[in-house]
Amino acid sequence: MKLVRFGPKGSEKPGLVDADGRIRDLSQHVPDINGETLAPDSLARLKALDPASLPLAPAGVRLGAPVSRPWSFLAIGLNYADHAKEAGLEVPSEPVIFNKLGNTVSGPLDDVIYPKNSNRLDWEIELAFVIGKRARYVEQKDAMDYVAGYTICNDVSERRFQMKRNGQWFKGKAAETLGPLGPWLVTPDEISDPSNLKMSLKVNGETKQQGSTATMIFSIPYLVSYITEFCVLEPGDVVTTGTPPGVGSVMKPPQYLVAGDVMELEIEGLGLQRQTVVPFTG
């Protein structure tokens, strides 16, 4: 099942994608795609619906992020062996965790706003997973029971803020619109092996990142277990799991985004994103 949220910013409705790729309106069944909707029993009820019985969304309607603002939006750094190698960094012995913010979340086709005083904006295609039930001290063997689905995240990053402003990664990760999600939230029954998905990112039509989740260092079950050793994950929370090689900051010379650039992201089975970088206007 592919879940979506559609409509104007701040007024999105819940929906699902039918077998013909059309968006069907779920608002008579659930108020939103949020933690409550993503509970296992709720997802089972939605899966049992006949999509043909649901109203069609308007053609060409805007897609929002496929989950409403999460309580927590966590990210894993240096989680791909080939990315760590290209950056000249050691593979971490434990996951690197940092925060993004709920208000970084934007739709898969929404503009990315160039942060004020920024000059090193970079791209990062990532596989993200969304939590479906409250997770605390989860064992690895049980971890996948807590995952409601998968989506694409563009972990847009301001590298000067991240690396040169006293070592706080959060500073380069938390500006508005730096966390596009979507287009869909795909339930695990449609993704047989999240550890072997092809992924790619283009800037202005040129491929920059091309890789696979197969080079991920710490698996999703491991991450669920590890994170919940330190904090509780609530239904609807998002964890984005790291990026493969090809980020601009490690290229020689480095390449960074400028206003007008267009990013296109794709992960096997999870759809496509496309964002245009626009200047900050206050």
Cβ-proximal residues to 49 (8 Å cutoff; 6+ apart), any chain: 16, 26, 29
136 near 232, Cβ under 8 Å?
Answer: yes
Report the DSSP beta bridge partners of residue 113.
278
In degrees, to the nearest 5, what angle opens at C-alpha 79 toward C-alphas 149 and 158? 95
State the pLDDT at residue 212: 98
Q: Is 272 exposed, middle or buried (0-12, 13-18, 19+ CB in 10 A)?
A: middle
pLDDT score recorded for residue 167: 76
Q: Is 44 exposed, middle or buried (0-12, 13-18, 19+ CB in 10 A)?
A: exposed
| Region for 69 from its dihedrals, namely left if φ exceeds 0, alpha if ψ lies in -120 to 50, beta otherwise | beta
Tokens, residue 128 = 């993200």
Closest CA to 263 of 105, 96, 97, 123: 123
Q: Among 158, 136, 131, 163, which residue's Cα sits nearest to residue 147?
A: 131
Q: Are 245 and 211 in contact (CB under 8 A)?
A: yes
Please count the CA atoms within 13 angstroms of the CA of 280 that sit on its side-chain side: 12
Q: Over the range 213-232, which residues count as b (16 or more CB within 10 Å of their CB) and which as e?
A: bebbbbbbbebbbbbbeeee
The whole-model pTM stands at 0.97
Residue type (1 letter), 168: Q
Q: What is the pLDDT along the chain (282 residues), one digit of tens a residue?
A: 999 999 999 999 999 999 999 999 999 999 999 999 999 999 999 999 999 999 999 999 999 999 998 999 999 999 999 998 888 888 999 999 999 999 999 999 999 999 999 999 999 999 999 999 999 999 999 999 999 999 999 999 999 999 889 878 999 999 999 999 999 999 999 999 999 999 999 999 999 999 999 999 999 999 999 999 999 999 999 999 999 999 999 999 999 999 999 999 999 999 999 999 999 998
In this predicted structure, what is the pLDDT of residue 166?
A: 87
Q: Distance between CA 151 and CA 239 in Å, rounded?
A: 10
Query: Is 234 within 8 Å of 136 (Cβ atoms)?
Result: no
Strand 73-77 to strand 13-17: parallel, antiparallel, or no bridges (unpaired)? unpaired
- Which CA distances in Å does 192 have to 150, 186, 195, 236, 279? 11, 11, 9, 21, 40
Q: How far apart are CA 103 and CA 72, in angstroms?
A: 11
Strands 271-278 and 112-113: parallel
Side chain identity at 268, as an amino acid letter? E
Domains of the chain as residue ranges with CATH:
68-278 (3.90.850.10)
| Amino acid at site 85 | K
Token pair recorded at residue 188: 């695990």
Residue with token string 């669920």: 224
CA distances, 268 to each of 151, 152, 192, 248 (Å): 10, 10, 11, 22
pLDDT at 125: 98
